[in-house]
Amino acid sequence: MRAIVVLALFLGTLHAASATFELKGQVEEVSTPVRVRLYGAETPYNAFTISNNHGSFKFRGLEPGTYVVIAFVRRHGEARRTVVVTPSLADEKRVVHVSIPLPPPTSAVDRAKRRSTVSVTQLAIPEPARQKHQDSQRDLNRHDIKAAIAHLNEALKLAPKYAEAWNSLGVVYYQTKDYTQAEQCFRKATEIAPEDWTPAVNLGGVLLNLQRPQEALEYNRYAVKARPNDALANSQLGMTYFRLGEMEKAEQYLATAERLDPSHFSHPQLLLAEIYARRGDKASTLRELNDFVSRFPDSEVAAELRKRLAQVNK
């Protein structure tokens, strides 16, 4: 399942490009095939592949944008990395490379706990509804958003308590900027599966976009408590505290997100730079802004920041 985050306050889009790109990745320290999914961080997209025995994988025909790579490693769980697919970060063959660190092994107790959290309701989802959900993911791979929404609605007609389908529909609405519909879908998913981290963290994100940080706080605190080493959860909680004016807490969680996933699609560097600028810490402000420009060189924000940084460095 996917998770998303509200975009940072000053987020820009990538410049359009006519040609597509290839993403080549490597899951470190593995000796067996790994299941890898690729999701669009800012626009609806979904793709799936399996690596070779040494963890190498690739995705072809990608449009410029920001993506989330999720590798499912047996006995280790999920490894996530944000990757920016853009002309300036590609080689001469239009290939972007990413390395996915192997997450620490999970204990047998943790694995059993995760299996036991699947509710009876979700286990009882009929196969036709699951098939409709799979069809929606194939639609997203073809960039057919209208068909994906239709298939998800069909799945929910067959299984109204299908939490994963509600979450997937919420993600599509979120990424097409229909935040009100997204909130309704994520709330439905959390009502059906209150133990599920994904719709809860997504609800925390969409509430930030709806300018309701006090409501978002509950969900984003829960997200960090449940997954303290998740960049998404930490970034959202940092954003929440920033909106609430608690700058020290905001810095703590945004810095953690930046450490966990330096190119995270929520762009923690921008809010960290704002925090440091308010303190009069010029060196730290410039460090964060330069780091952002290096990681997102083709964004509209980076183009503007380069002009400002050039003025500062004169």
Domain 120-192 part of CATH 3.40.50.300: no
Report the amino acid identity of residue 241.
Answer: Y
Which amino acid, one-letter code, is at 220? N
What are the residues whose beta carbons fall under 8 Å from the beta carbon of 168, sequence distance 6 or more?
1, 2, 133, 136, 137, 152
- Confidence at 19, pLDDT banded by 50, 70, 90: confident
Q: Looking at the DSSP assignment, which residues form a beta bridge with residue 70?
A: 37, 80
The rounded percent of the chain whose pLDDT value lies above 90 is 80
Per-residue pLDDT of 251-264, as tens digits, reads 999 999 999 999 99
Q: Summarize pLDDT for 182-223 with one digit per residue, the tens.
A: 999 999 999 999 999 999 999 999 999 999 999 999 999 999
Give the pLDDT band (50/70/90) at residue 121. Answer: low
Question: What is the pLDDT, as a whole number, of residue 1?
Answer: 41
pLDDT score of 117 more than 70 = no
**Contact indicator for 251, 272 with CB cutoff of 8 Å:** yes
21-107 under CATH 2.60.40.10, yes or no? yes
105 SS3 class: coil
Q: Mean pLDDT in the chain?
A: 90
Residue type, 45: Y
Q: How many CA atoms lie within 13 A of 234 on its CB side?
A: 21
Give the whole-angstrom CA distance, residue 198 versus residue 207.
Answer: 14
Per-residue pLDDT at 273 exceeds 50:
yes
Contact predicate 165/156, CB 8 Å: yes
Sequence ranges of the chain with CATH classification 1.25.40.10: 120-192
Q: Is the pLDDT of residue 17 over 60?
A: no
Q: What is the DSSP string of 34-74?
A: -EEEEEESSS--EEEEE--TTSEEEEEEEPSEEEEEEEEET
CATH 2.60.40.10 domain residues, the chain: 21-107
Report the alpha-carbon distance of residue 42 to residue 172 in Å, rounded: 10
- Burial label for 4, CB within 10 Å (0-12, 13-18, 19+), is buried
Structural contact between residues 165 and 152, judged by C-beta atoms closer than 8 angstroms: yes
| Between 113 and 284, the higher pLDDT residue | 284
